[in-house]
Each structure stands twice: as C-alpha cells, then as structure tokens.
Amino acid sequence: MALETMFEKLQFTDQKHLLIQGLPSTIEKQFSKVNFCKSVTPLLRNRKIDFALVFAVSRKQLTNIVDDVIPALQDQGKFWVAYPKLTAKIASDLCRDVNWDMITHYGYEPESQVVLDNVWSAMKFRKIELQPKIPARSKRSAMAVEV
C-alpha cells in the first residue's frame, strides 16, 4: 500500500486561492510546485480563500492568525491548523485536545486530524451549518395522528 501524500491527507484538490502561512522549512519542499500566498493579502481577502493551512506553535499566535484568516475564508473553504505533535521538541500550548475557542468563536468545529510528518499534526475545521428547519405540523395533521 502506497503512503498517502501530504496533499491527499489534506484533501487538497484543485483549489485556486491558497493560503499556507508559517510553513516550516522541513515541509516547504513538498509545496514547491504549488502557487500559494504566505499571508492574507487584500487581493486574497477579496477573492476569498478556498484552502488554508496555517502553522502555529501557540494559542496566542493562532488567535492572531485566525482573526485574519477566517473572515477571508469561503464558507466551504478547507481550513487546516497545523501544530507541533506532543513528541516534537517544540514548546507549544496547542494539541489535539486543546480548547479551540478562538476558532469555534467564528462558527467552526474540528472535523478531522492528520499527521503531516514526525513534527506536525493538522486539525481540519469546518463551518457549522445551520440545521434545516423542520416545518411545524399543522393542527389538522396533528389531530389526525391523535385520533
């Protein structure tokens, strides 16, 4: 069985407006053939991001990034947050079980997690969709059920 590529893990397909922020040099080579922005530019904000992968090592850093990225993200855009694995030798207050309130505040929830390499994991977030309203039953149909 072939190893899954990083692009497959991140469900990267044919997105056009890409943001990859804070990309570590250890992973950079894998993205060498991809055109992407390294920060949210006015043009990218206007066009809306359809794939974002941001690397962060602290909650404070992530909060600053999220406040810039999420408003520029398409509703159906893919949003990944990469953080150091617990076994990595990088001091971090982020992990899978951390409180992601800086992201859930914007109406997103954790969806899945992948391992990028021996140092980085990534959590995918999706926008929480409003539940479709179920039409209220009319009195007549309610009475028919009771009879």
Domain extents in the chain: 6-146
124 contacts 79 by C-beta, under 8 angstroms: yes
What's the CA angle centered on 29, arms 23 and 32, to 5 degrees? 90
Q: Which residue has the higher pLDDT, 1 or 58?
A: 58
Q: What's the rounded Cα separation, in Å, for the pair 26 and 43?
A: 28
pLDDT at residue 100 is higher than 80: yes
Return the closest-CA partner of residue 114 out of 2, 1, 15, 11: 11
Look at residue 74 and tell me whether its pLDDT is greater than 70.
yes
Structural fold of domain 6-146: Rossmann fold (3.40.50)
Q: Which amino acid is at 134?
A: I
Tens digits of residue pLDDT in 77-90: 999 999 999 999 99
Percent over 70 (pLDDT), the chain: 86
Looking at residue 1, its pLDDT comes to 36
